[in-house]
Amino acid sequence: MMDERWKIVDRYIESLLVPRDASRDSALKESAAAGLPEIQVSPVQGRFLQLLVAALGVRRILEIGTLGGYSAISMAQRLPDDGRVVTLEADPRHAAIARANIARAGLAGKIEVRIGPALTILPQLAGEGVEPFDLVFLDADRPHTVEYFDWALRLTRPGSVLVVDNVVRQGAVADPENPDASVQGMRRFLDRLARESRAEGVVIQTVGAKGYDGFAFVRVVTPSKAVGRP
């Protein structure tokens, strides 16, 4: 089966090109031991996020959907000393595991886990007038992706990059009749992206350890409303 080949190739790429790291390994181990769903980015995808942080010179990262902190830790490992991740998590149990994993990785000073529904916390961040984020990783519940996209535009600057996970879902995204709320959520997001004058983006399909999926890569082009203003 193709899926088996995708996994074998992913393992091959990982063994060659993803440096082993005790912090990331133990975050995976502890998250699994705590019974968290094993839906974090794959090691190869985590490596891609790290390279993005390094290549773009990212200093401030916003993540929506922390889970056990694997992707947050991966990205934070490549931040400069004054770099920060703010990561949002609705499930207090996930957040607690993430905080433990982050502390064990020595990254508690760099990664702030905020607990609550993202649609509650995002307006708070805007109200606090936080510095714009350079990179936003959207990886939470898919039905709300359009709303997260709107907030991400308000919390970034021209040149910032947004990465949206789980856009393709085995090709389901191309089926307008698919009744699944996640699929419809992603289609609404892509419709908006297509018409959005403040950003440009595309979707890259992927295969690998997590099957057939894909991510959107978006570049913010024009200033949104200033952070902290209505």
Residues that bind ligand DHB (CB under 6 A): 39, 139, 165-166, 210
Minimum distance from residue 86 beta carbon to ligand SAH (Å): 12
Q: Which does 151 bind (CB under 5 to 8 A by kind): Mg ion, ligand DHB, ligand SAH, none?
A: none
Residues 10, 89, 165, 196: which binds Mg ion (CB under 5 A)? 165
Tokens at 121, concatenated: 């916390």
Member of 41, 86, 126, 220 binding ligand SAH (CB under 6 A): 41
Does 118 bind ligand SAH (CB under 6 A)? Our answer is: yes
The partner residues of 217 in beta bridges, in order of sequence, read: 163, 202
In this complex, which beta carbon is closest to ligand SAH, that of residue 119 or of residue 221? 119
Using rule CB under 6 A, residue 211 touches ligand SAH:
no
Binding residues for ligand SAH restricted to 62-91, rule: CB under 6 A? 65-67, 70-71, 88-91
Q: Is residue 89 close enough to count as binding Mg ion by CB under 5 A? A: no
Strand order in the sheet with 111-115: 111-115, 84-89, 60-64, 133-138, 156-164, 211-220, 199-208
Q: Is 196 in the site for Mg ion (CB under 5 A)?
A: no
**AA letter at 92:** P
One-letter amino acid identity for 18? V
C-alpha span between 24 and 29 (Å, rounded) = 9
How many degrees, rounded to 5, is the angle at CA 137 between CA 128 and CA 68? 95
In this structure, are residues 88 and 121 in contact, taking their beta carbons and an 8 Å threshold? yes
Which of 63, 89, 134, 139 is close enough to bind Mg ion by CB under 5 A?
139
The Cα 151–Cα 119 span in angstroms is 9
Note the residues at the interface with ligand SAH (CB under 6 A): 39-41, 65-67, 70-71, 88-91, 94, 117-118, 139-141
